Structure 1
Amino acid sequence: MLEQFTGLTPDPEWAFAHLTQAQTSYATHGYHRYPAKFIPQLAARLIEDYSHPGDTVLDPFMGSGTALVEAKRLGRPSVGVDINPVAHLIATAKVRALEPHLLGEAIACVWERLASPLQPSPFAEACATVDDSHWHERLRYWFREDVLCALSRIQHAFEMLDDSVQPFFRCALSHTLKPVSWWHDRSVKPVRKLEKPIPDPTLVFFRHVRRMARGNREYWALLQRAGTLDTSAYCHCADARALPVPDQSVDLIVTSPPYVTSYEYADLHQLSALWFQMTTDLREFRQGFIGRSNGIHEPVGSLHSPLAEAIVTKLSAVNPRKAREVALYFAEMYACFTEWRRVMRSGGYACIVIGNTHLSGVEVQNAQVFAEQLMTLGFVLERVILREIPSKILPRTRDKQTGKFTKTHDADYLAYPTEYIIVFRCWKE
């Protein structure tokens, strides 16, 4: 099996290097920033190559819902699962096509409630009508008080609208949080810049709402032309180790699993998680994330992969803590794969997009380990594709010893310059 990974050269047909940012963020794909999401064209090609119209597609790590949007566009009912409530918020908005005229009326209603015409102006007076008693101390760390007041007014303005448009506006407000906070605009990581000029939140919000409305019109038209407006796409905020999916109900899995460093997702999404009261404790928020760093004392059973055991042993000699994190990661991924076996129909395909990385100078061969684990469950490895990554939202430069993202001039290798697409087939008696 491992021989299929050796000697591979990147397949240019899978790089999609010619695509512009506008092309990879078309329709609802530009609704919300999301780190390291795979491009819709990649998801679409896997869906078209390994399923038929009417087949059910599952993404057990749905993130921002890219695969679900593409599945709906291509006439495949889909189910997405993610333990991150911020991902659930974004994906729910992205997959829901809204009738453009009705959405336009809702936007006009929110606009009228806040101020019309909008003019750039000081917004401190907003605090006079806002109850600030529920604001988490961490929100005060990230936002000026007048900004918090303005954000509260925005949320109040759309909360009285019909439930069908709530995900749209919640997503827009979530996207607005970072630019109006002290979070450094050029940093993916949570870094404060207190001298940052803060724009008017209402103007930022409506600017993005208008962009989203254009994306929704495009999405609606695409689905209408394809006759797939009524194709189902369900988003669940749930654990991938206990999928809310019936046995043998899935024809295709398309997903990009988290990496060992996925605890960063909890940090990267903390503004939205705190604002929408999805958590009051960031440490607790990280608990369920696969790849977290705060679960190293939890018991770890068999990794079901000789290669995984060898990687953990090698890491133990240089960084015992990191070795325990990797062991827990692979054990939890195996639990996820066990669920895949349960929900898949015989003959169905599973497509995984995953890269390898380095931690403390040790190569962590995620793709190869996953292949070993899945094969112990009866999956058959059908195809291995090496894909060059033309760009990513997350920084690609790392320090090889620590594995941490670093400035370009301090880095000694690129993180994830290529990634694997591994395709399995599930046969059952």
Structure 2
Amino acid sequence: MLTIELTRQEQIAPWRYNRLRSAPYSNEWTESIEAESRIHRIHSYPARFPAFIVHRALEHARRQGVEVNRVADIFCGSGTVLVEASLRSIGFWGCDINPVATLITRVKSYRLNADTFGGTAARIVDRFPRASRVPHVSGRAADRLRPWFEDSQFDDLVRLRNAVLDEVGDHGEFAAAFDCAFSAILKPVSRWRSRSRKPSLDPLRAAPLVIDTFVRQCRVMQEVWAEVGSSPSASAEIVRGSIIDVPRPAEPVDLIVTSPPYATSYEYADLHQLSALWLGFADDHRDLRTGVIGTSSRRSSIATALRNLNSVGEQVVFSLFDRDRRAAEAVASYFLDIQKVAQRCHEFLRPGGISVFVVGNTQLSGVRIDNANHLVESLLDSGFLDVSVVKRQISNKPNTPYRLPNGRLSSTRTEMHIYAEEYIVMAQRG
């Protein structure tokens, strides 16, 4: 384990820039023989980290003498941290700016009666043939949705959505659970190209029937509720909003486990556009990019950024500026946001509390975007006493270390190199 102490901040900037290369690989953080709970699989989500990471983080905190009664995830995504905390009767606080993410996380916090859920699903399916064929979404949203579906698939989704609303309404736990079920089937029944990092159409894709896919999805969720429905649940608070400006939790947390987005890597508003439009979160999914950390649509003035960036961020942005000014401005905005994230983590934690980040580096225009090292310096600047770092290997990346223009992983060399490891960055508040 590589430990970086606050007193070493006086080292020259080039040393800081390269310091994480000596972080050792850790088998403990790389793999697990433990089977994940099936609840993790009720909705797909890009770049979800393995559930065992949460268990390792809890073990690390306890080895440091920290009793964990409340854990937070400040980029809660699909609720991995919530599920693992809940299964251990640990309280949870989470936030995410993406409304699809907070929907999925909230649904995973429920303990629904499996039989009631199954009976409700059956009534929705019974309503489906007689449901209205009038779209409930705005004309603007419908125009954006139609290209992703065959006409028959679109019409069936309209009827299914209306059947759901007729049966469960739009408020309450069952309404949210069936919103989640509906959301989960949208890509499988669409022309969305599988395993693509960026939205792209696959005109040759043969999509399954909408109602059959919905029935299978509900069956999976019913089995999940049967598995976890009687298990104890702890308190959970899920907030839609950015960590940059959401109110802090009412009580400080003991542990933060999270994985921040990477600079310009995933446009989550674009990746979740089908769900966002069908469920009425927006009439144009691009509106949901506002305030998102890591989006390429947010850029900072280089002159302004350089007055506030730490030394690692400054060096990366300078290296990128001559090659791709727009990318440099987007990365500058991202780094400034991450520096605020580190400060907010310090605010959220109780004295002695711990933050555990899963973070990887990326590459733009041939420049290594040193996300992990920038985070380390941000944490030290925010008042964390010391930071410990190990690396974990990502199993599928050594064989497919590049991305094609459509976002798919490939073994063919391209300008977009994907690193085969992630860093586990652990910091304790004084």
- TM-score band, normalised by the shorter chain? 0.7 to 0.9
1:39 partner letter? P
Q: Which moved more, 1:279-288 or 1:61-70?
A: 279-288
2:13 is aligned to none
Contact 1:303 1:334 (8 Å CA) reproduced: no
Aligned 8 A contact 2:264 2:330 in 1: no
CA distance, structure 2, for counterparts of residue 315 and residue 413 of structure 1:
14
Partner of 1:123: none
How far off its partner does 1:307 sit? 1.2
Contact 1:147 1:180 in 2 (8 A): yes
SS state of the match for residue 260, structure 2? coil
Counterpart selection for 2:212 from 191, 203, 211: 203
- Distance of 2:83 and 2:33 partners within structure 1: 22
CA contact (8 A) 2:137 2:280 kept: no
Aligned to 2:9: none
CA distance in 2, matches of 1:233, 1:272: 24
Instruction: Quote the residue 2:227 is aligned against.
Output: 218
- 1:424 equivalent among 417, 423, 427: 427
Equivalent pair of 2:376/2:387 in contact (CA under 8 Å): no
Is 1:73–2:91 an aligned residue pair? no
- Check if 1:238 corresponds to 2:244: no
Q: Do the aligned partners of residues 170 and 362 (structure 1) sit closer, same or farther apart at CA in structure 2, a change above 3 Å counting? A: same
Identify the residue that residue 274 of structure 2 maps to in structure 1.
271
> Does 2:296 align with 1:293?
yes
For 2:49, the equivalent position in structure 1 comes to: 38
Distance 1:184 1:129, change over 3 A: same
How far apart are 1:303 and its partner, in Å? 4.0
CA contact (8 A) 1:261 1:291 kept: yes
The share of aligned pairs that are identical, in percent, is 33
Structure 1 length normalisation: TM-score?
0.86
1:145 CA drift (Å): 3.2
Query: Alignment partner for residue 145 of structure 1, among 146, 151, 167?
Result: 151
Of 212-221 and 310-319, the range deviating more from structure 2: 212-221
Preserved contact between residue 196 and residue 408 of structure 2 (Cα < 8 Å): no
Gapped regions of structure 1 (runs ≥ 5) = 116-125
How far apart are 1:424 and its partner, in Å?
0.4
Amino acid at match of 1:340: C
The aligned counterpart of 1:350 is: 355
Distance 1:258 1:312 in 2: 18
Deviation, 1:328, is 0.6
Displacement, 1:41?
Answer: 1.1
Report the Cα offset of residue 338 of structure 1: 1.8
Change (3 A) 1:360 1:403: farther
CA distance in 2, matches of 1:86, 1:163: 16
Q: Is the CA contact 1:127–1:149 (under 8 Å) kept in the aligned structure 2?
A: no
1:424/1:242 Cα in 2 relative to 1: closer, same or farther (>3 Å)?
A: same
1:157 match: 163
Q: Any idea what SS the aligned residue of 1:234 has? A: strand
Residue identity opposite 2:26 in structure 1:
D
Alignment of 1:10 with 2:14, yes or no, is no
RMSD over equivalenced CA pairs, Å? 2.6
Q: Secondary structure at the match of 2:377?
A: helix
TM-score, normalised to structure 2's length? 0.86
Instruction: Indicate the residue corresponding to 1:172 in structure 2.
Output: 181
- The code of the aligned residue for 1:361 comes to G
Q: Is the contact made by 1:57 and 1:254 (CA closer than 8 Å) also made in structure 2?
A: yes
Could you say what secondary structure the match of 1:79 adopts?
strand
